[in-house]
Structure 1
Amino acid sequence: MSAPCVIFDLDGTLIDSVPAIHAISNTVLREMGLAELSEPKVRSFVGKGVPNLVRQLLIASGKDPDGPLFAQAEAALLAHYETDLEGNTPYPFVIEALDQLSEMGCALAICTNKPLKPAEAVLDYLGLRERFTLVLGGDSLPSRKPDPEMLRACHVRLGGGPMVYVGDSEVDAQTAENANAPFVLYTEGYRHTPVQDLPHQVAFADYRMLPGIIGRFQKDTA
């Protein structure tokens, strides 16, 4: 009975990063002479990668998202992303769940639309990086989620076999569906859609439940 590969989204799934992203976004806006935005507003922009975040910040500021400010804002955001790490926190019991999954023999990986260097920086900051065999970021391949290629590439690099994808959002649900992969939905992240309206195999709100959920997948694929 082989343990499944467990591939995770990052923001809104393993970590609550909105406080950090909100602070970084407002730092960039201030540097550009623009007004700050509220945390709920910035939260609504999270999940589709840095280019989308920058575009939404400019649109919300009344600026042309396709104009000359885009490159300036994107470069500033990426620079702060790698260094301004305060405000990122793991969700409760994430570390315990990851350690238990490793003890079960699961290979663990991250498939996130966050760029690779900022993703690895925050994982190092939180002491999580060593728990993952592989991290793929939004700039690791030519496409990003919900294109299924990221998830498929992650799965192949882990060696194939049974696989479960764990995420929190509409983008994650669509990615799993596009890749024809089992999807486990963490309900306490950044989704906007009611749980019942997102395609998923299992939903959970407490990371203490996850090892048991993965264990059931392991039995079903035996």
Structure 2
Amino acid sequence: MASIIFDLDGTLVDSAPDIHAAVNLMLAEEGAAPMDLAQVCGFIGNGVPVLVQRVMQAHSWPAEDHPRLLSRFMTHYDAAPAELTRLYPGVAAALDRLAAAGHRFALCTNKPAATSQSILRHLSIAGHFPVIIGGDSLPQRKPDPAPLKAAFNALGGLAGWYIGDSEVDAETAQAAGAPLVLFTLGYRKTPVEEIPHAARFDSFDQLPALLERLVAE
């Protein structure tokens, strides 16, 4: 049995369409032109406050507008956080198989914890995640190692792996001294070879066997 900690956005779920929609609703209220999906995708990974900050920088808006725009974004996003969000193919089956093997799961994400819980419920996988460490659970957010360490501690300190998709996840795992298993089809911005990882996969159909091998080693 091992602890398996998952990132959310770009790892378990493709949430970019809902984030993109909320950004454009916020922009429309400000009388600004919409942004395309690829550009918004590039802003995902460091949490909602940083996402909104990057949108503001793209429009040269003053820093003092951040609290207002952050609140406006969250109002739109929380109204429909899973309308367009989908599990990546094979996620549900992989979680069922890993749970049957006795592994324990937690979520470690920079998304707010309540929003994350809502998405997991909507996608019918909340029962797999008794522990959720969100971007608002601690004073620190990834890539600080504190959230990932808290997730492992909440599962009893069992040795395990962090499953993530991005440079932020790799930095977090390194800082926490945890091996990263990299999902290659998420929101990373650099080549796979440049992201430190212990193992990688491009389909959740591969994950149970991959982790079985890593546990055996």
Q: CA RMSD in A?
A: 0.9
Give the one of 58, 61, 64 matched to 1:63: 61
State the distance in 2 between where 1:213 and 1:18 align. 27
Q: How does 1:31-46 map to 2 (within 5 A)?
A: 31-46=29-44
Matched, 1:171 2:172: no
State the distance in 1 between where 2:18 and 2:179 align. 30
Residue 181 of structure 2: aligned partner: 184
Residue 73 of structure 2: aligned partner: 77
Give the one of 142, 157, 162 matched to 1:145: 142
Structure 1 residues without counterparts, runs of 5 or longer: none
* Contact 1:35–1:61 (Cα < 8 Å) also in 2: no
Give the one of 103, 119, 127 matched to 1:130: 127
Q: How does 1:1-222 map to 2 (within 5 A)?
A: 3-64=1-62, 66-67=63-64, 69-84=65-80, 85-220=82-217
Deviations 1:57-112 (A, max 9, x none): 11112212x12x21111111112222212110000000000000100101011100
Q: Does the residue aligned with 2:4 lie in a helix, a strand or coil? A: strand
State the distance in 2 between where 1:81 and 1:129 align. 19
Q: Does the residue aligned with 2:26 lie in a helix, a strand or coil? A: helix
State the distance in 2 between where 1:26 and 1:37 align. 7
**How far apart are residue 30 of structure 1 and its match?**
0.9
Q: Does the residue aligned with 2:205 lie in a helix, a strand or coil? A: helix
* Contact 1:78–1:118 (Cα < 8 Å) also in 2: no
State the distance in 1 between where 2:154 and 2:78 align. 25
Q: Does the residue aligned with 1:7 lie in a helix, a strand or coil? A: strand
State the distance in 1 between where 2:175 and 2:148 align. 10
Structure 2 residues without counterparts, runs of 5 or longer: none
TM-score, length-normalised on structure 2?
Answer: 0.97
State the distance in 2 between where 1:108 and 1:184 align. 14
